[in-house]
Amino acid sequence: MPQATVNWIDGMKFEATTPEGYSFIIDGKRKEGVGAMDLLLHGLAGCTAVDVVLILQKQRQPVEDVIVNVTGERASEHPKVYTKIHIEYIVKGDLKQEKVERAIQLSEEKFCSASAMLRKTADITHSYQIIPPDAG
């Protein structure tokens, strides 16, 4: 079962540790570590990126790189949940457009748990671009 543990350091800083022993700093002031709500966007980016890579590989697409940028807008009143999220996919390789579109669709609609949860409060949109393999 997934587990998250945070230990208060001081001020608004906490050390987060995973069961595997990885650790990082969560900082409510975002000066010495990542903000807690930012972690949700990073989790979404990681979740959908993993899906897209795996799906493209299963489709036998020669994917060379995947970058996922996620931006979000939050409600002005507490709880300040995300109300709008945009996911930008940048994929590199000699890829067929319809295969990239299908990989993104499957991730967002079927496989990415983070997307499914965040969709309950946020309107999630996406865009993508395909970078040819010979481009820098």
- In a domain, residue 60? The reply is yes
> Whole-structure pTM over 0.85, yes or no?
yes
Average pLDDT, the chain: 96
Q: Is residue 59 part of a domain?
A: yes
Partners of 38 in the beta sheet?
Answer: none
Q: Are residues 60 and 108 located together in one domain of the fold?
A: yes
Residue 51 has pLDDT above 90, yes or no: yes
pLDDT value of residue 135 = 74
End-to-end CA distance of the chain: 41
**CA-CA distance, 136 to 133, in Å (whole number)?**
8
Say which CATH number the domain at 18 has.
2.20.25
- For residue 21, tell me if it sits in a domain: yes
Residues 111, 69: one domain?
yes
The DSSP bridge pattern shows strands 123-131 and 5-10 to be unpaired
Model confidence over 90-128: pLDDT tens digits? 999 999 999 999 999 999 999 999 999 999 999 999 999
The pair of structure tokens assigned to 133 is 């393999």
Q: In what order do the strands lie in the sheet with 13-17?
A: 5-10, 13-17, 23-27
- pLDDT higher than threshold 70 for residue 19: yes
> Do 63 and 115 reside in the same domain of the chain?
yes
Residue range 46-73: mean pLDDT, rounded: 98
Domain count, the chain: 2
- Rounded Cα gap, residues 13 and 10, in angstroms: 5
- The H-or-E segment that residue 38 falls in is helix 36-58
Confidence of residue 134 (pLDDT cuts 50, 70, 90): confident
Given a cut of 90, whether residue 32 has pLDDT beyond it is yes
* CATH number, domain containing residue 111: 3.30.300.20
Token pair for residue 124? 């999630």
Q: 136 pLDDT exceeds 70?
A: no
Same-domain status, 3 and 15: yes
pLDDT confidence tier of residue 2, bands split at 50, 70 and 90: confident
pLDDT of residue 89: 98
Residue 63, domain extent: 36-131
81 lies in some domain:
yes
Rounded mean pLDDT, 50-57: 98
Q: Is residue 136 part of a domain?
A: no
